[in-house]
Amino acid sequence: MAGEILDNQGKGEVSWSWPSIHREGIIFGSIAVGLSLIPLLLLGWQILGWPMLFVSVGVFAFFRDPERVVPQDEAAIVSPADGLISLITQVEPPEELRIEDGSAYKSMPSGPVTRVSIFMSVFDVHINRTPISGTVTRLVYIPGKFMNADLDKASEENERQHFLIERSDGLQVGFTQIAGLIARRIIPHVKTGDMLASGQRVGHIRFGSRVDVYLPAGTEPKVLMGQRVIAGETILAEVGQAKLLEGIAQ
């Protein structure tokens, strides 16, 4: 199904398949399986070996990398992460995205914008994707703490990596990968100057974390607090739309 065009009128062929595993997951999962076989087969410690083998399966599952059907709409800003909408607030974009860095690319303008925070538990897919098509004009890594990613101050104090994507028409969307209590490494798959399609993979964070998205001025989210979103598929917002939405948890 990869690369196939599908639509809401029934075009395309779809079938279920096992999600692929990121290459890091194959390495870590294989190591975990090998370590579990030592007490299970060589030492006969089944009480230890079987739980370790179960954890190995969890390692493979953590690094799963399923295909996604990305909406092809110029107005759509898609979710960069799987997870729970945990915060929606008005903030200034990160300083690292606003200051001039001496490059030929322009920075984000100052002024309050809507930030949508997506919390990823260890059970979510951790491959992150770009919310719009465009060029990576800034990629900034900041070392920091490893506080609970649910906290608002994690955006400014935790280890994080900022992305700024700019379309050919000048529209910019910034987003930030933030490490959490368990996450200990943020790994990019792209570099400054790369041209990306909407929903393309840009990196991953190991073992639980958060992604913040900074929407363009005048744009409000189409998602609600407490809603679960899917990277590359859920439309977080439509450019220029600022309609109030309400929901009921049930």
Instruction: Characterize 175-186 residue by residue with b for buried, 16 or more Cβ atoms within 10 angstroms of its Cβ, and e for exposed.
Output: bbbbbbbebeeb
Q: Token digits for 70?
A: 């990305």
Using the CB atoms, write b or e for 94-115: b if 16+ within 10 Å.
bebbeeeeeeebebbeeeebbb
Which sequence spans correspond to the domains of the chain?
20-65, 76-238
Residue 31, both tokens:
């190591």
Judge contact between 210 and 154, C-beta under 8 A: yes
Among 128, 108, 229, 105, residue whose Cα is nearest residue 177 = 128
Low-confidence ranges of the chain (pLDDT < 50): none
- pLDDT, one tens digit per residue, over 127-186 is 999 999 999 999 999 886 665 555 566 666 678 899 999 999 999 999 999 986 665 678
DSSP class of residue 25 equals H
pLDDT the model gives residue 145 = 66
What per-residue confidence (pLDDT) applies to 94? 93
- Residue 28 corresponds to which tokens in the numbers above? 């870590």
The whole-number pLDDT of residue 19 equals 84
Round to whole Å and give the CA distance between 167 and 109.
15
Amino acid at 248: I
Residue 86 falls in the annotated catalytic set: no
CATH superfamily, domain 76-238, is Glucose Permease (Domain IIA) (2.70.70.10)
Q: Going by C-beta distance under 8 Å and a sequence separation of 6 or more, which residues neighbour residue 62? A: 25, 122, 126, 207
Going by their DSSP bridges, the two strands 209-214 and 134-142 should be labelled as unpaired
Residue 87 CA, chain-centre distance (Å), reads 15
> What is the per-residue pLDDT for 236?
97
- Among 96, 171, 86, 179, smallest CA distance to 135 is for 171
Backbone angles phi, psi at 22, to 5 degrees: -60, 150
Q: Which of 36, 107, 133, 209 is catalytic?
A: 209
